[in-house]
Amino acid sequence: MANPLRVGIIGASAEDGWARDGHVPAVQALDGLELVAVATNGRKTADAAARAFGVEGFASGLELIRSPDIDVVTVATRVADHRALVLAALKAGRHLYSEWPLGAGWDETDAMAAAADRAGVHTAIGLQLRESPAARRARALIASGTIGRVLGVSVQSATAGFGPDVAATFLDLEAPEAFANLVTIQGAHTIDLAIAVAGGIAEADAPAMARYPETRAGDTGERRPRTRG
C-alpha cells in the first residue's frame, strides 16, 4: 500500500470537543490516513493532547502547519480562528479539511474559497451528514425514480445543544460574533443534508423564534439573556 497521508489536527483537546470525539478516532480508523500531530492553543494542553493521542503536540496551529511532516491539516477550532489557519495551510501547500462553518460570514468564506482554488490542493468542509450511508441511499432512490417523483420534502432536525442550560465549555458560542449558533451549525447542516438528498431549494421561508430567551450559564447556573445577534 502507498504511504498513508499524514494528518495533523488543530483543535484536538484531550479533555473534550468534536476533534477528540469525532476526528481523532475517524483518522485512526481509516486506511490511508495516519494521525501524526495535534495542536492546541498552549504548551500545557498540547502536551496533554500528545500524551492522550500518542502523537506529536504543537502549542499552536501555525506551528503544526509549518511542520514538514504534515500532508493534511484539519482545522477543528473556533470559527473565529478558521480564516488565519486555513489561509496559512493553503499557502503551505497542505491538503485541508475544515470544520463547518468555514468562515464567519460570506466575505471570509469567499476569500478562503478563492485561496483554495489558487493553491491547487485537495480541500473538504465538514458537512459530513451528506455522506452518511442512509443519506446516500435516499439520494440514490430519489435519483433513480424508484420512489416516484418528489414534490416536496418535510425535514425535522433535533439537537441536544442550544437549550436553556449552557455548559461552561460552550459559553463562547452564545456570542453572535462567534458565528457558531443554532442557525449556522444545526440549521446549516440540516439544510445541506436536505439539498444533498432531494436537490436544490426553490423557495424558503424561515421565521425565527427564540424558544429559550434566557439561559442558565456554566457551573453556577447564572441566568443570562440569550443574544440573537
Q: What is the mean pLDDT of the chain?
A: 92
Give the per-residue pLDDT at 173. 84
Tens digits of per-residue pLDDT, 25-45? 999 999 999 999 999 999 999
Q: Judge if 28 and 120 occupy the same domain.
A: yes
Please list the alpha-helical segments (H only) found in the chain: 18, 24-29, 43-53, 61-66, 79-91, 106-119, 133-144, 188-198
| pLDDT exceeds 70 at position 195 | yes
Give the per-residue pLDDT at 228. 63
pTM for the full model? 0.89
Q: Which of 125, 72, 123, 73 is nearest to 99 (CA)?
A: 125
Q: What is the identity of the amino acid at 147?
A: I
Q: Judge if 202 and 90 occupy the same domain.
A: no
| pLDDT exceeds 80 at position 206 | no
Give the per-residue pLDDT at 190. 93
CB count in 10 Å sphere of residue 183: 16
| pLDDT exceeds 90 at position 226 | no
Assess contact for 111 and 83: CB atoms under 8 A: yes
Q: Which of 52, 70, 103, 53 is nearest to 61 (CA)?
A: 70
Q: Quick one: average pLDDT of 161-176? A: 87
Where does the pLDDT of residue 1 fall: very low under 50, low under 70, confident under 90, or very high at 90 and above?
Answer: low
Q: Judge if 34 and 94 occupy the same domain.
A: yes
Q: Judge if 29 and 70 occupy the same domain.
A: yes
Q: Judge if 118 and 160 occupy the same domain.
A: no
Grid coordinates in use for 27? Answer: 483518522
Which residue range(s) make up the domain with 108? 5-126
Q: Judge if 111 and 150 occupy the same domain.
A: no
Using CA atoms, how far apart are residues 8 and 73, in angstroms rounded to an integer? Answer: 5
Last residue of a domain, one of 126, 149, 176: 126
Q: Judge if 29 and 51 occupy the same domain.
A: yes
CATH of the domain at 77: 3.40.50.720
Q: Which residues, at least 6 apart from 132, have a Cβ–Cβ distance to it below 8 Å?
A: none
CB count in 10 Å sphere of residue 162: 18
Q: Judge if 101 and 142 occupy the same domain.
A: no
Between 1 and 111, the more confident residue is 111
Where does the pLDDT of residue 209 fall: very low under 50, low under 70, confident under 90, or very high at 90 and above?
Answer: confident
Last residue of a domain, one of 126, 150, 165: 126
Using CA atoms, how far apart are residues 213 and 225, in angstroms rounded to an integer? Answer: 6
Quote the percentage of the chain above a pLDDT of 70: 99
How many domains would you assign to the chain? 2
Give the per-residue pLDDT at 204. 77
Where does the pLDDT of residue 129 fall: very low under 50, low under 70, confident under 90, or very high at 90 and above?
Answer: very high
Q: Which residues, at least 6 apart from 207, have a Cβ–Cβ distance to it below 8 Å?
A: none
Q: Judge if 166 and 92 occupy the same domain.
A: no
Between 95 and 178, the more confident residue is 95
Task: Name which of 84-93, 102-111, 130-139, 155-164 the model is least confident about.
Answer: 155-164
Tell me whether residue 210 is exposed, middle or buried, using C-beta atoms within 10 angstroms of its C-beta: 0 to 12, 13 to 18, 19 or more: exposed
Last residue of a domain, one of 89, 110, 126: 126
Q: What is the identity of the amino acid at 221?
A: G
| pLDDT exceeds 60 at position 229 | no
Element holding 148 (H helix, E strand)? none
Give the per-residue pLDDT at 174. 87
SS3 letters for 163-207? CCEECHHHHHHHCHHHCCCHHHHHHHHHHHHHHHHHCCCCCCCCC
Q: Judge if 78 and 168 occupy the same domain.
A: no
Q: Judge if 119 and 162 occupy the same domain.
A: no
Q: Judge if 23 and 101 occupy the same domain.
A: yes
